[in-house]
Amino acid sequence: MSERAPAIVIIGSGFAGLGMAIQLKKANFHDFVVLEKSKGLGGTWHDNTYPGCACDVPSHMYSFSFELNPHWSRMFAPQPEIRDYMERTADKYGVRDHIRFDSAVESAEYDDAAKRWNVTLSDGTVFTPKAVVSGIGALHIPSFPDLPGMETFQGTAFHSAEWNHDYDLTGKRVAVIGTGASAIQFVPRVAKQAASLTLFQRTPPWIQPKPDRSIPAPVRAAFAKVPGAARAFRASIYWTLEARAVGFTIDPRLSVPMEKLARWHINRQIKDPELRAKVTPDYTIGCKRVLLSNDYYPALARPNVEVETSSIAEIREHSIVTEDGREYEVDCIIYGTGFKVTDALAEQRIVGRDGLKIQEAFANGIEVYRGTTIPGFPNLFMLLGPNTGLGHNSVVFMIETQIQHVLSCLRLIQDKGADAIEPKPEALRSFNDKMHRRLRRAVWSEGGCQSWYLDENGVNRTLWPGHTFEFWASTRKAKEEDYTLSY
């Protein structure tokens, strides 16, 4: 393999990039390189090291189907264990040598004459593969709010995905902005350390009890030794989680028992009626990601924690001022404010056939055939692309399905002796029209909340609107009639 002209470039080494690399190896294909901007592999599980970071889909399901791990220590493994699993898996399948770290891709441009992509790194290096698989993830660019005076703050400030482990929070006056999936995991830990914690909440999340426990050694031994035990357990988790999609996608009224459980959780863990009222959402459950936690509400009830619901008006050198005029002196601000999602894709420098910029292709909204391929962009494949995210199950399942789709496209090219493949515009139209009809009546649009699932026009460009087995059944094998091959 020539390092600069591999047949395939994969961008990213999270679950998506890693899974793609492994499946290529398993297909006995070795002419590829993985370009990763970080210094290590794992994506989400490399970057997010905040205290309490863990998955919220049970680990036996939140892992590769071809690499079951009978040794998960807990139902919801902590971040270091997930990162180690990914490292081990990369080594086992021999893909580490294919990964080039510190390699941030700046642009990808299709060369019509050569029928190859020019993939350019920030250091100017150019790779010229026949195909590009983008596994860049949706949650890796930290989003900071645009608050007046932010830059004047003289204390320590950092984002949850860029945790400052050198800063000792012990005895400090800490402000946390945001109450999403990340914040609810680190707030209980920070509350125990800090002198005071002020939590700035814009919208309360719905939170259910987390069925988390350590997995006893004999059970782990059984998963390792009894044939089929780990797979049967995974299947039981899969179907339990799939049941949640019914309420989210068919009729939100079917989620009433979920909402009752969440209300019971608040009432059981918080006694103060004022705090109860503050943390009780006023939108339909499922509209934002439903969170799981056993220690978040007890942390909010601690005497050193205050939940502030008035909006932030201004940040000063040593304080945060709210719209209702209260001023909080703080030493540190932690931004638990999430990631840039839908706008990140539109900002990319990707140029397809005939000089078509991705922004032009997305002029009427981000639309990608089966979240994977785009007309005008030959041999470009996206993993966990638009509308393949989930609110109810493991996205690793979706990623693996898309990887099968990519492999079947590559096989089509090979079998037909073609140079390139791209989806037909009419296939994209029909796929998207059907999907958006379903999305319009789903809880994410109808549930009365704002979320990062929706773009600036309120259109859901993020989630898959149905069961994951529907996506698997319709997507894992590319349909030849939906694609154009060029020779």
Ligand X SMILES: NC(=O)c1ccc[n+]([C@@H]2O[C@H](COP(=O)([O-])OP(=O)(O)OC[C@H]3O[C@@H](n4cnc5c(N)ncnc54)[C@H](OP(=O)(O)O)[C@@H]3O)[C@@H](O)[C@H]2O)c1
Q: Would you tell me how many other CB atoms lie within 10 Å of the CB of residue 306? A: 15
- For the bound state, the minimum distance from the C-beta of residue 101 to ligand X, rounded and expressed in Å, comes to 23
- For the bound state, the minimum distance from the C-beta of residue 421 to ligand FAD, rounded and expressed in Å, comes to 22
Q: Figure out which of the listed residues 338, 371, 378, 466 binds ligand X, where binding follows CB under 6 A.
A: 338
The footprint of ligand FAD on this chain (CB under 6 A) covers a number of residues equal to 31
Four-point Cα dihedral 25, 27, 28, 33, nearest 10? -40
**Interface with ligand X, residue 361, by CB under 6 A:** no
**Interface with ligand FAD, residue 287, by CB under 6 A:** no
**Interface with ligand FAD, residue 386, by CB under 6 A:** no
d(CA 13, CA 95): 10
Q: Which window, 6-14, 195-203, 369-377, 440-448, contacts ligand FAD (CB under 6 A)?
A: 6-14
Q: Figure out which of the listed residues 129, 155, 178, 385 binds ligand X, where binding follows CB under 6 A.
A: 178
Which residue, 14 or 155, has its beta carbon nearer to ligand FAD? Answer: 14
- The item of ligand FAD, ligand X, none sharing an interface with residue 11, based on CB under 5 to 8 Å by kind, is ligand FAD
**Interface with ligand FAD, residue 241, by CB under 6 A:** no
- The item of ligand FAD, ligand X, none sharing an interface with residue 104, based on CB under 5 to 8 Å by kind, is ligand FAD
Q: Are 331 and 319 in contact (CB under 8 A)?
A: no
- The item of ligand FAD, ligand X, none sharing an interface with residue 476, based on CB under 5 to 8 Å by kind, is none
**Interface with ligand FAD, residue 290, by CB under 6 A:** no
Which residue, 19 or 338, has its beta carbon nearer to ligand X? Answer: 338
**Interface with ligand FAD, residue 12, by CB under 6 A:** yes
Residues in region 270-289 near ligand X by CB under 6 A: 289
Q: Are 40 and 101 in contact (CB under 8 A)?
A: yes
Residues in region 42-81 near ligand FAD by CB under 6 A: 43-44, 48, 53, 55-57, 62
Q: Figure out which of the listed residues 1, 27, 104, 232 binds ligand FAD, where binding follows CB under 6 A.
A: 104
- For the bound state, the minimum distance from the C-beta of residue 392 to ligand FAD, rounded and expressed in Å, comes to 9
Q: Are 465 and 371 in contact (CB under 8 A)?
A: no
- The item of ligand X, ligand FAD, none sharing an interface with residue 105, based on CB under 5 to 8 Å by kind, is ligand FAD
Residues in region 333-372 near ligand FAD by CB under 6 A: none
Q: Figure out which of the listed residues 83, 140, 370, 392 binds ligand FAD, where binding follows CB under 6 A.
A: 140
Which residue, 53 or 439, has its beta carbon nearer to ligand FAD? Answer: 53
How long is the chain?
A: 487
**Interface with ligand FAD, residue 189, by CB under 6 A:** no
Q: Which residues contact 275 (CB under 8 A, 6 or more apart)?
A: 300, 301, 307
Q: Figure out which of the listed residues 86, 299, 395, 428 binds ligand FAD, where binding follows CB under 6 A.
A: 395
Q: Figure out which of the listed residues 21, 177, 345, 396 binds ligand X, where binding follows CB under 6 A.
A: 177
- Per-position x/- string for 46-75, each x denoting binding to ligand X as judged by CB under 6 A, each - no binding: ---------xx-------------------
**Interface with ligand X, residue 180, by CB under 6 A:** yes
Q: Is the dihedral of CA 137, 139, 142, 147 positive or negative?
A: positive
Q: Which window, 33-41, 86-94, 326-334, 374-382, contacts ligand FAD (CB under 6 A)?
A: 33-41
Give the residues lining the site for ligand FAD (CB under 6 A): 11-17, 35-38, 43-44, 48, 53, 55-57, 62, 104-105, 135-137, 139-140, 182, 383-384, 394-395
Give the residues lining the site for ligand X (CB under 6 A): 55-56, 139, 145, 160, 177-183, 185, 200, 202-203, 289, 312, 336-339, 452
